[in-house]
């Protein structure tokens, strides 16, 4: 018997080409052609009937809808994509071998040298995104706004649309800064509180409220940062993802046992001593408006439960942020390049210092 006889599966399956086989294939081909033609040129049995019912069986309306849809699809085909020349990625030569570039849950960790900003900028321009940058300038912290905004105009999301959302109790003291086209300052007046810790924790409440009431209609992403900082190098679309956090500059090389999580079980921010991936900074996080809303709402609710029980987490909202990120893993993590303090020196792995703490007298600023 022929060695291939009787095989009916696999790449090299054998099918005897009988007249019945040929007739069956021909019939199937005709039926398939008729189905495809109907899908392209006329109603099939289900979906287009629903469309006819929607437009009261008005044939002209149906043709108008169909033409409109065709025009929309044709418009997509008219988008001119820029030709880009760049070095081919090398599978066996990772761009950085000195740092972790991927978490166990496949979230990238963003370091200088691990991405191509030209490729990313082109992708986000095609999506036509607007980014919201939020800061809280309460009481004397308003003095940091001028430097913050001026350096943001130089380094933050260059070439993209940006809304600067300034939360402040002193709207009359918000400085006038020259802005590039497509970038706006939006002042949101909020109340202050006697203690700086209370002000810090209330940020989650305000971000949650305005995400639901306003931001969802105005921007695609939110970036939530501290105001007593200055941009020192490019911070662009490479940071954007559904949900991102930033490695705290004081703990990015530390062991889990050294993380200053909230370890009191009575607190809603409690993290057991044998859990935790990284320690995240409260001064730089973000994501889509929907994800930031979920994060800030959850953290605010937890803060209020603690408050009702007479508990305040060790690092206020940062403790609750770390608890949230433990059980809702960020989809991207920013390296300490994105939140640095020059008092920590400049380690060799730090190729860029993108967002720097401004030297200040904390005692003179807080609660004033």
Active centre residues (catalytic): 318
What per-residue string of b and e applies to 21-49 under the rule 16 or more CB within 10 Å gives b? eeeeeeeeeeeeeeeeeeeeeeeeeeeee
- Grouping H, G, I as helix, E, B as strand and the rest as coil, residue 63 is helix
The answer to whether the beta carbons of residues 277 and 330 sit under 8 Å apart is no
Q: What is the DSSP letter of 102?
A: B
The answer to whether the beta carbons of residues 293 and 235 sit under 8 Å apart is no
Closest CA to 183 of 211, 158, 216: 158
Orientation of helix 59-77 relative to helix 47-54, angle to 10°: 120
Say how far apart CA 61 and CA 54 lie, in whole Å.
10
The answer to whether the beta carbons of residues 251 and 279 sit under 8 Å apart is yes
Name the E strands within 199-325.
Answer: 221-225, 229-231, 243-246, 284-288
């Amino acid at each position: 018997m022929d060695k291939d006889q009787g095989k009916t599966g696999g790449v090299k399956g054998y099918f005897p080409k009988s007249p019945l086989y040929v007739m069956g294939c021909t019939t199937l081909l005709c039926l398939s052609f008729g189905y495809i033609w109907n899908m392209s040129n006329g109603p099939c049995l289900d979906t287009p009937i629903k469309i006819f019912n929607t437009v009261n069986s008005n044939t002209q309306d149906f043709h108008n809808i169909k033409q409109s849809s065709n025009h929309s699809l044709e418009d997509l085909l008219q988008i001119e994509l820029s030709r880009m020349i760049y070095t081919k990625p090398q599978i066996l030569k990772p761009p950085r071998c000195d740092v972790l570039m991927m978490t166990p849950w496949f979230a990238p960790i963003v370091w200088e040298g691990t991405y191509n900003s030209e490729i990313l900028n082109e992708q986000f321009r095609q999506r036509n995104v607007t980014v919201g940058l939020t800061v809280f300038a309460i009481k004397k912290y308003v003095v940091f706004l001028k430097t913050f905004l001026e350096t943001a105009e130089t380094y933050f999301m260059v070439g993209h649309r940006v809304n600067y959302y300034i939360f402040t109790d002193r709207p009359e003291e918000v400085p006038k800064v020259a802005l590039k086209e497509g970038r706006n300052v939006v002042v949101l007046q909020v109340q202050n509180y006697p203690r700086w810790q209370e002000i810090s924790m209330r940020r989650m409440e305000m971000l949650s409220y305005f995400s639901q009431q306003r931001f969802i209609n105005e921007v695609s992403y939110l970036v939530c940062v501290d105001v007593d900082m200055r941009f020192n190098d490019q911070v662009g679309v490479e940071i954007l993802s559904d949900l991102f956090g930033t490695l705290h500059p004081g703990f990015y090389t530390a062991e889990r046992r050294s993380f200053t999580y909230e370890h009191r079980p009575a607190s809603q921010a409690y993290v057991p001593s044998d859990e935790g991936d990284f320690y995240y900074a409260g001064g730089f996080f973000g994501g889509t408006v929907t994800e930031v809303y979920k994060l800030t709402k959850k953290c605010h609710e937890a803060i209020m439960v603690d408050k009702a029980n007479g508990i305040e987490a060790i690092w206020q909202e940062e403790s609750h942020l770390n608890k949230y990120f433990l059980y809702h893993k960020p989809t991207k993590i920013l390296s300490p390049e994105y939140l640095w303090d020059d008092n920590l020196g400049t380690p060799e792995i730090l190729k860029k210092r993108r967002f720097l703490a401004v030297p200040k007298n904390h005692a003179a600023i807080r609660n004033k």
